[in-house]
């Protein structure tokens, strides 16, 4: 038997700087660490996102998911440039792109309402992540414009 939201409340670190906090009927997914210069999507973060979205999808009765960055003035700068530079095989590049797109598709298919809170740069895969959500809320600042 599946447990409801109340049985799953709390905070869990899912690797790659991904944390999921479930409180009442809402889950908050935190991207990155506050000390990071830029919040990017590297391989461990992609794995953490996969685990987080799978976990959210299994919570019956969840009303919403809010995705935000842990770093003030930054949402997500997309794929990690160092990861891209390391890829020499087109098949590996295709697999990474496919995994990213699957995450975005899974977010879009969640039964709960999803919201991206955008504070600062939101480019590339970060933009796709925000677009996968039902709603996007952008902070009115020069970093976000």
- Residue 63 CB neighbours (<10 A): 12
Q: Give per-residue pLDDT as tens, 63-81.
A: 999 999 999 899 999 999 8
Task: Give the pairing type, strands 113-118 and 10-15.
Answer: unpaired
Single out the residue of 93, 92, 22 nearest to residue 52, CA to CA: 22
- Cα–Cα distance list, 77 to 21, 73, 81, 98 (Å): 22, 11, 10, 18
Q: Give per-residue pLDDT as tens, 104-138.
A: 999 999 999 999 999 999 999 999 999 999 999 99
Res 47 pLDDT > 90: yes
Topology of domain 5-138 in CATH is: 2-enoyl-CoA Hydratase; Chain A, domain 1 (3.90.226)
Res 40 pLDDT > 50: yes
Residue pair 1/9 in contact (Cβ under 8 Å)? The answer is no
Single out the residue of 84, 31, 35 nearest to residue 53, CA to CA: 31
Q: Give per-residue pLDDT as tens, 3-33.
A: 566 556 788 899 889 999 999 899 999 999 9
Tokens of 4: 């409801």
Give the pLDDT confidence score for residue 3 in this predicted structure.
Answer: 54
- If one compares 5 and 38, the residue with the highest pLDDT of the two is 38
DSSP strands (E only) in 1-145: 10-15, 18-23, 26-31, 64-69, 113-118, 135-138
Give the pLDDT confidence score for residue 51 in this predicted structure.
Answer: 95
How do the domains of the chain map onto residue ranges? 5-138
Supply the mean pLDDT for the chain. Answer: 91
């Amino acid at each position: 038997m599946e447990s409801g939201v109340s049985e799953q409340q709390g905070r869990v670190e899912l690797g790659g700087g991904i944390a999921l906090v479930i409180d009442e009927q809402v889950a908050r997914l935190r991207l990155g660490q506050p000390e990071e210069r830029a919040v990017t999507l590297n391989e461990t973060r992609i794995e953490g996102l996969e685990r987080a979205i799978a976990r959210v999808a299994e919570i019956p009765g969840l009303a919403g998911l809010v995705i935000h960055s842990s770093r003030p003035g930054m949402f997500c700068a997309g794929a990690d440039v160092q990861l891209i530079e390391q890829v020499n095989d087109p098949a590996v590049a295709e697999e990474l792109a496919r995994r990213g797109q699957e995450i975005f598709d899974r977010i879009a298919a969640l039964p709960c309402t999803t919201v991206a809170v955008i504070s600062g740069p939101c480019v590339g895969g970060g933009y796709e992540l925000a677009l996968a959500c039902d709603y996007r809320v952008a902070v009115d600042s020069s970093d976000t414009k």
